[in-house]
Amino acid sequence: MPNKFSAQLKDLFFDPHNPRLLADVGDDQTKMFRYLITDIGVDDLLQSISASGLFNADPIIVRQRPAGGHFVIEGNRRIAALKLLTGERPQDQLAIPTIPEVSPEFAESVKTIEVESGWPEDLLEAYLGYKHVTAAREWSPEAKAKFVFEHARGDFSNEKLRRFAKTLGTNLATLKRWLIAYLTLKEAEIQRQPLREATSARFIRSLAGGKLESSCNYKMTP
């Protein structure tokens, strides 16, 4: 069973394995913070949380961080919004979104939040898959592709992918399209092609008829 506990906001760190992060930034919290508030956007959460507070309907899921504190597996946008509302800023001197004014009491109240850890891998995989992949909630198409690729764990056999597709509530053909998309994006990155050109939903949808292998040497059974 997941373990629920209260955590200090300052001890919660953005997850470098977040599927939204297409480039490897290591544990550079400033780059992840910047990407979440500028490229992904948190304006809706800033308005919602400042007006109504933080609801616990969707859990904030964490894992232990080797250097201390916890990485946020699920809820990175919410953590980014909370950090902004409580006065934290990316240490890059770049522009930030308009932040609603909140009272000192409110800011103090959200510096400690409820989180969960210890989710079984299969349950976590199914939850994230349903929320962000199958239900098309929040994650971009390329982020979904990265999620599927990483959770396939190198096994692209039809048998393995069918089980994974069933867990996610999708089908084998769709799952393969996501994987093809991710491999294509990785090739673009390796070959230093403009990554932005390769990350549109239209581009990924166009890969439906593509080959099931790539020069990255990952192969799937047709």
Q: What domains does the chain contain, in order, with CATH numbers?
A: 3-117 (3.90.1530), 121-209 (no CATH)
Token pair for 150: 């990483």
Q: What is the pLDDT of residue 215?
A: 39
| Closest by CA position to 68, among listed 2, 6, 5, 7 | 7
Residue 47: pLDDT over 60? yes
Q: What is the average per-residue pLDDT within 35-55?
A: 89
pLDDT category, 135, cuts 50, 70, 90?
A: low
Residue 67: pLDDT over 50? yes
> Tokens 């491999």 identify what position?
183
17/82: higher pLDDT: 82
Q: What is the pLDDT of residue 211?
A: 42
Residue 203: pLDDT over 60? no
- The residues with which 4 forms a beta bridge, in sequence order, are 116
Share the mean pLDDT of the chain: 79
133/119: higher pLDDT: 119
Q: What is the average per-residue pLDDT within 36-65?
A: 90
Sign of the alpha-carbon torsion through 64, 66, 69, 73: negative
Residue 110: pLDDT over 70? yes
pLDDT category, 75, cuts 50, 70, 90?
A: very high
For the chain, what is the radius of gyration of the CA atoms? 18
36/143: higher pLDDT: 36
pLDDT category, 193, cuts 50, 70, 90?
A: low
Residue 15: pLDDT over 60? yes
